[in-house]
Chain A
Amino acid sequence: MAELCARLRRWFTGKGPGRPVLPPSSLVSIGKAIETTSDDEFDCEQTNRLLDQFAEAALRGEDSAPWMDLIQAHLDRCPDCQAEFEALLHVLETEDT
């Protein structure tokens, strides 16, 4: 019960005691995520809205439009959207024509 209370207190009040050490490799990964952050990133919904168009363009070998860069940047940092893109691409690549 005491541990549960401590965890709830930590959860709701912000910082708590007993913090673990993150290894340098983890800090570097977080640093990379911070360093590559930009103000005008596409979010998941913006990316999903254009994902079908992006997948067809990718299959045609087009990759130079500015909006495609924004989608690619989102896919590079969002494994969830990247998974949906890979599945869609695979479906299109294996489609009977």
Chain B
Amino acid sequence: MPEARDNDQWLSDLRSDGPIQAAALADLRAILLAGLQRGLTKWLDAYSPELENLAQDATQEGLVRILDRLDSFEGRSRFTTWAYKVAIHVALSKLRRKEWGNVSLDEMLDPNPEKGQGISVISPQVGPEMSFEQKETLERMAQILEEELTDRQMALMQAVVLQEIPMEAIAQKMGVKRNALYKMMHDARKKLKKRLMLEGLELEDVLSSSGEGKTPQGHVVQPGDG
């Protein structure tokens, strides 16, 4: 049973050396390992070798990061909550790398490469259930997407928004940080929103009648799910 420590005690013990630090590290390792074994069950079967291996690896790497970043702990939460956060980030990054390791960036960004299709958009073929005005709005939006985005930006938009491929997986393949990819997407969305506003294009009517109200919720999409 790990020793109970408050935040200051954790910091003090981990910054110490000798048996005090060793005891704190052993306690933190046990806490993180047990936490990851519970927290990863949404993605891997409980007690499976895959989960156990990932939890062990992420605990080890997480401990190294935690020791390296002790100064960045600002005390706004319990120390162990902060440590869990670091270890979970490590674990899910490893999981995405493993799951998407055999999928190339081209495959992630080109939905139908075998058909020789490109990665942009033309006017939609809308169904009869939409009003004329709604069809016009979507067709105009499609034109704006085509005018404002490069194929690469459009492919990223499709992969992230439509296929829900984890940005972490795409970022790893692109050799950039996930945050950089998010900012790239944010810039593209801002640019499109500004253009829509300049054009006076109101999407509210189309969005409210489509039943498409929800942003994709958090789950790690498996390769081939889409």
Contact = CB atoms under 8 A, between A and B. Distances in A.
Contacts of A64: none
A92 B150 contact: no
Contact of A79 (B76, B111, B152, B217): B217
B151 A14 contact: yes
A72 B36 CA distance: 23
A11 B42 contact: no
Contacts of A63: none
A80 B92 CA distance: 9
Contacts of B122: 19-21
A1 interface: no
Contact of A83 (B126, B145, B157, B219): B219
B206 A31 contact: yes
Given A3-B116, A20-B112, A52-B76, A82 B162 contact: no
Contacts of B168: 80
Nearest to B117: A20
A92 to B, nearest CB: 6
Interface stretch (B9-17, B21-29, B60-68, B77-85): B77-85
Interface string B167-195: 11000000000110011001001101100
Contacts of B111: 20
B81 A21 contact: no
A52 B85 contact: yes
Contact of A30 (B38, B145, B182): B145
A28 B151 contact: no
B39 A83 contact: no
Contact of B126 (A16, A24, A76): A24
Contacts of B141: 27, 30-31
B72 to A, nearest CB: 9
Contact of B81 (A32, A36, A92): A92
A12 B138 CA distance: 28
Nearest to B183: A43
A88 B35 CA distance: 9
Contacts of A52: 76-78, 81-82, 84-85
A24 B166 CA distance: 23
B161 interface: yes
A94 B110 CA distance: 40
Contacts of A82: 217-219
Report, nearest first, the 3 A-B pairs whose CB atoms are least far apart: A82-B218, A52-B77, A37-B189
15 contacts: A19-B119, A20-B111, A21-B124, A24-B125, A27-B145, A30-B157, A32-B203, A33-B215, A35-B203, A37-B193, A79-B219, A84-B88, A84-B92, A85-B218, A86-B42
